[in-house]
Chains A and B, each alone.
Chain A
Amino acid sequence: MASNLIFTQSKYSDSLTIVAISIFTAIICESISYLLIYRTNSYKSLKSTIDKASKKLETLKKSKTKKIDRFETNLKESNRDLSMFKFKSGAVVALILFVVFKFLSNLFEGKAVAKLPFVPFKIVQKMSHRGLEGEDFTDCAMAFLYFLCSISIRTNLQKFLGFSPPRGAAAAGLFAMPDVKNE
C-alpha cells in the first residue's frame, strides 16, 4: 500500500500507466492472434512442417548428403507460406498497436514519462527524446518507453504461451525466397 502511494506521487508515475496499457494491449493482441492465427489448422500444420524440416535438415547437414538442397528449399517455401499467412491475419493486430500508440502519443505529447539512467545514442534519441523540449537527453518520451514495454512484454508473453515462431522459421529469415534452379 505504501509503495503504491509512493509510486503515484512520483514525478514519473505516468510510466506505470504506459506499462499497464502495454500489458493489456499485449494480452489483447495475443488473444486476437490466437483466434486468427495460432488455433487454425493451417498454422499448426505449417509450424509442424517447419519444425520437422528443421530437425531433418540439421541431421542431414551432419551427414552432408545431397538431399540438403531439397530440404532447404522446402523449408524456405514453408517459411514463406507461414510469413504470408501471419501477415494477412496480423493486419488486425498491427491496427490495434497503431491505435494504441497514437492514443498514448496524444496523451503524453511533450511530456517526459520517465528518466533514463543513461544517455542514449544519437539514433536512439530520435525515439527517446521524441517531442520533448530541452537538451536533457535522459528525459524519456512515451515512444521509447512504449517500445521497451512492447518488445519485452509481448516477446515474453508469446514465449510463455508457446506462440513463439519456430526456430526453423527464425533461422531461414522472414523474406526467404525459394531457390531458382538453373538446371
Chain B
Amino acid sequence: MGLKDKKSKQTNSSNQQQHQNGGHFSPFKFAKLVDPDASWDKDQLGDVLHWIRQIVALLCGLIWGAIPLIGGIWIVIFLVISSALIYGYYAMLLKVDEEDFGGHGALLQEGLFASITLFLLAWTLVYSLGHF
C-alpha cells in the first residue's frame, strides 16, 4: 500500500509544463516506460496506454489479415488480448494505483475506440489486398 501511494504522487510542475507544450514533443525518457519506480502524470500515462493500444491493434490487424484469420470471434480475441496487455502493463509492470488515475475503466478505455477502428482497418486492408 505504501509503495503504491509513493508511486501515485503527482509529478512536479515541470512535467505539467512539458505536457502543455504539446503531445509528442515533450521530452520523454523511454526508460520510464518500463520503470516500476517512475511516477506518472495522468495525461502521460493515458497517452502511453493509447499508443500501446494502437500498436497492438496495427500488429494484430496486419498479422491476422496476412494469415488470414476470419470471423467475428477474432474481434473479441483482439479486444481480450489488447486489454490484457494494457492491464498487465499498468498493473503489473508499472504497478500504478489505478484509483489515482480514474480506476480500471478509465485506464482500459484509453484509445480503445480508435484502436478498434485501426485494427478493423488493418485487418480488412491486408485481407482484401493480400488474398483477392
Contacts and interface: CB of A to CB of B under 8 A. Distances in A.
Interface of A: 6-7, 10-13, 15-16, 19, 48, 51, 55, 58, 114-120, 140, 145, 147-149, 151-152, 155-156, 159-164, 167
B72 A15 contact: no
A148 B116 CA distance: 9
A58 B75 CA distance: 35
A117 B127 contact: yes
B42 A115 contact: no
Contacts of B24: 160-162
A118 B117 contact: no
B124 interface: yes
A167 B128 contact: no
Given A118-B75, A156-B54, A51 B20 contact: yes
Given A51-B20, A115-B124, A151 B114 contact: yes
Interface in B1-39: 10, 20, 22-25
26 contacts: A10-B128, A10-B130, A12-B128, A12-B129, A16-B125, A19-B125, A51-B20, A114-B125, A114-B128, A115-B128, A115-B131, A116-B124, A117-B64, A148-B120, A148-B121, A151-B114, A151-B117, A152-B117, A155-B114, A156-B54, A156-B114, A159-B23, A159-B47, A159-B50, A160-B24, A162-B24
Nearest to A116: B124
Contacts of A48: 20
Main secondary structure of the interface of A (DSSP, over half): helix
A50 B57 CA distance: 31
Contacts of B124: 15, 114-117, 140, 145, 148
Given A115-B124, A148-B121, A167 B132 contact: no
- Chain B interface: which size bin? 35 or more
B90 interface: no
B23 A162 contact: yes
A6 B129 CA distance: 8
Given A151-B113, A155-B114, A164-B23, A117 B132 contact: no
Contact of A117 (B50, B68, B113, B118): B68
Given A148-B124, A159-B23, A160-B24, A117 B71 contact: yes
B70 A117 contact: yes
Contact of A15 (B68, B113, B118, B128): B128
A10 B117 contact: no
Q: Which of B25, B123, B124 has the most CB of A within 10 A?
A: B124
B70 to A, nearest CB: 5
Given A119-B72, A159-B50, A152 B132 contact: no
A118 B121 contact: no
B118 A152 contact: yes
B129 A167 contact: no
